[in-house]
Chains A and B, each alone.
Chain A
Amino acid sequence: MKKYTYTESKDTRSGFGVGLLEAGKMNENVVALCADLIGSLKMDAFIKEFPERFFQIGIAEANMMGIAAGLTIGGKIPFTGTFAEFSTARVYDQVRQSIAYSHKNVKIAASHAGLTLGEDGATHQTLEDIGLMKMLPGMVVINPCDFNQTKAATIAAAQYEGPVYLRFGRPVVPNFTPADQTFEIGKAVLLNEGKDVTIIATGHLVWEAIQAGEELEKLGIDAEIINIHTIKPLDEEAILASVRKTGCVVTAEEHNRLGGLGDSVAQVLAQKLPTPQEYVAVNDSFGESGTPAQLMEKYGLTSSNIVAAARKVISRK
């Protein structure tokens, strides 16, 4: 098992904030909008540097999505900022008609995704957003795993022409990917080569997958670990190549098991390489209040859940 270390833990939303500032410096057409959550989205640095390129919308997310779509007409590259719940479910029709169907170059920056939002509870913890966004034709769906990767993903999103949903989170998590990485949309990252089981993880579950890989190694199980930071378009080749070798797969995500990464992987495998698969995901449920660690434990999204799923799926081969 390849060794992964980190010197500090940071929140992915801060990676977005730093990436946004850098994207803004690289291209004067990059603009930002926020629905009254500047601090939460870490947009302060961008606003300080480019006050004339920032639009405070107020608590009006539908209007924000429309204004963002309008700003693209004139060549702007808008990043909208609010929580993932209010970036998707609250404004689904606006995103669908004014952004996706109209193919506007809007980047939907969605923070506080999933259970790790924590104490605010289920009203704010979206577990459906990946599914909602990946169903929209032409929408790119990205869920990076740590600070460095979120920063790189933000810059890549600005450089990509077309609508992007960029999902990240609230808590500090290990920052283990390289600071100087280039982010290629739609390209999986192979974290560890193995032969017994493929673990495909996204977002905060990638670090859990690495820890699971270390535990499995102690049990004599050689896990291949893939970081899928882009759920759509999905890197089918990377998945198929791995599964041809291992013959079974575990998917891991901070999302409802219905409609997330696991379903995307299952669809590929069902058509091209039917394979035993286990899901590490929320089992069709809403979340609740608690600390992020308590919630990940209660809803079964930890490294030990991945270990158990790996052992189970290997037994099904």
Chain B
Amino acid sequence: MSADINKLEQIASQVRRDIVRMVHACKSGHPGGSLGCTDYFVALYFHMMKHDPSFNMDGKGEDLFFLSNGHISPVFYSTLARAGYFPVSELTTFRKIDSRLQGHPTTHEGLPGIRIASGSLGQGLSIAIGAAQAKKLNNDDRLVYVLMGDGELQEGQIWEAALYAPHNKVDNLIAAVDYNGAQIDGPTNSVLSLGNLKAKWEAFGWEVVEVTNGNDMSTVIAGLEEAKSRTGNGRPVVILLHTEMGNGVDFMMGTHKWHGVAPNDEQLASALNQLTETLGDY
């Protein structure tokens, strides 16, 4: 099925509006990484994955997605709501008391679409590997996707999992690294360099797909299709997804400053002026 790029871009524009409105409303949250990963989320949930918004935890016969870097919950929640997992009106409750939309995603409040809690970093790749191995035991030929942050790769558990998946031929797994080069304290290269990531993953035995512009819908779709074509060959696949933190909102781009800061009223208005309302605001 060929992708309707224009339609996907329209959805992405709405998701970006949702993100900045959500973090503005609760005066907290993580807009930078959310905006940077919007095109990836939309491509997954509105084109790549076979999934059922009526939601069943086990997800048998479905493609599954896990978010390891749980702090970019705004993009996850907006995408799930826009895909029909729960009413978009519920996005107003983000980070507020008695909400299913916790600061970091959780199964604890029963929000459809969430299969694991994340927030404490480094754990999602292991989860995805387990879910992928369960699929193999169940003779379920669908795929498992997982997204990690690049700063998150500083966690040791990631590399335990990176060692395990190729050894065990977990080839129904497509991991992705949000390669935006930034983390809370600054550029990843100054906090703790990741070095040659492509060489590292290859040395561990992974198929590596490089997506040079993770904020161009056609490029993202092509990268995901390429990754999918490499599954089933005895090796896990990882996408190095080059994104720009804050993408779509000019004053949030090119800096790590907006990793975990909400815009004020004036900044919100400026952001919304740059993002077309396509599906209707919640």
Contact = CB atoms under 8 A, between A and B. Distances in A.
Nearest to A31: B137
Interface string B114-149: 011111101111111111111101101000000000
A63 B164 contact: yes
A74 B138 contact: yes
A68 B135 CA distance: 13
Interface in A27-79: 31, 52-53, 55, 57-58, 60, 62-76, 78
Contacts of A98: 116-117, 123, 126-127
Given A63-B160, A75-B134, A70 B106 contact: no
Given A57-B164, A98-B116, A102-B116, A74 B131 contact: yes
A73 B137 contact: no
Contacts of A62: 122-123, 126, 156-157, 160
The winner among A57, A66, A75, A104 for most chain B CB atoms within 10 A is A66
Interface in B23-75: 57-60, 64
Contacts of B140: 74
Contacts of B255: none
Secondary structure call for the A interface: helix
B126 A97 contact: no
Contact of A101 (B59, B108, B128, B164): B108
Nearest to B170: A67
A55 B120 contact: no
Nearest to A28: B137
Contacts of A71: 130-131, 133-134
Contact of A73 (B57, B119, B123, B160): B57
A62 B126 CA distance: 8
B interface, size bucket: 35 or more
Nearest to B134: A74
Nearest to A68: B130
A59 to B, nearest CB: 9
Nearest to B140: A74
A60 B134 contact: no
A58 B127 contact: no
B108 A102 contact: yes
A155 to B, nearest CB: 21
Nearest to A33: B130
A54 to B, nearest CB: 11
A53 B137 CA distance: 8
B236 to A, nearest CB: 13
Nearest to A69: B127
Contacts of B116: 69-70, 73, 98, 102, 104
A63 B126 contact: yes
Contacts of B126: 62-67, 69-70, 94, 98
Given A31-B137, A97-B117, A73 B108 contact: no
Contact of B59 (A64, A68, A73): A73
Contacts of A102: 106-108, 116-117
A101 B160 contact: no
A60 B131 CA distance: 18
B111 interface: no
A102 B111 CA distance: 12
B133 A75 contact: no
A94 B122 CA distance: 9
Interface string A108-127: 00000000000000000000
A103 interface: yes
B161 interface: yes
B137 A58 contact: no
Interface string B158-174: 00110110001000000
A217 interface: no
Nearest to A63: B160
A73 B130 contact: yes
Contacts of A31: 137
A67 B58 contact: no
22 contacts: A53-B137, A60-B161, A62-B156, A66-B123, A67-B130, A67-B161, A70-B126, A70-B129, A70-B131, A70-B132, A70-B134, A73-B59, A73-B64, A73-B115, A74-B60, A74-B131, A75-B60, A75-B134, A93-B120, A94-B123, A96-B120, A104-B116
- 6 shortest interchain CB distances as A-B pairs: A70-B130, A66-B126, A74-B134, A60-B160, A63-B160, A67-B130
Interface of B: 57-60, 64, 106-108, 115-120, 122-135, 137-138, 140, 156-157, 160-161, 163-164, 168
Given A52-B137, A60-B160, A73-B64, 7 more contacts: A31-B137, A58-B163, A62-B123, A69-B126, A70-B128, A70-B134, A71-B130
